[in-house]
Amino acid sequence: MTNPLKFLLGGLLGFALAVPAGIMQADVGLNRILHNTQWVVGPHVHVAILVGLTVTLYSAIYLLFPILTYGAKVHSQKLVNVHFWCHLIGGVGMGSFMGMTGLKGMQDNWDYIFRRKALCCFVAPFFIESRNDDLNLSLISVLLTGGSFRKPPTTPFIIF
């Protein structure tokens, strides 16, 4: 199977997975439940754009690359296969996990990100590498207790 055909079929798979999710969102009863959740942006939008559109565009790039470069060959077919499978599995996996969290009611708005638990989980990787043990312990206690401090941290907490 040629690279353009492989990527074209992957793009068709992405659109084939995204279209039913969009049709299900058109149902008024289901839309009342799923509106403003991760379901809306996960299985429909992200799978359609990330898998359907971009993999189809990669198909065009792999088709046009030899034509525009006067017959240049792909350096490694193994890397092309890794590119295809990582993009396909990663895009469909991300969309399906976002869909599952949307079905459980996770909201899709920026206000959710700035709540305490989500902010701690978002900022924690930047501070875990810190040399200050008090800061590490306070961050870990925030993550484990769900954002409730027993005592305030003893060191200044600088984000930027």
Query: pLDDT tens for residues 29-52?
Result: 887 887 777 777 888 888 899 899
Supply 26's token pair.
């058109």
Residue 137 in this model has a pLDDT that exceeds 80: no
Residue 19 in this model has a pLDDT that exceeds 80: yes
148 by DSSP, 3-state: which? coil
Residue 110 in this model has a pLDDT that exceeds 60: no
* pLDDT of amino acid 42: 81
* pLDDT of amino acid 72: 85
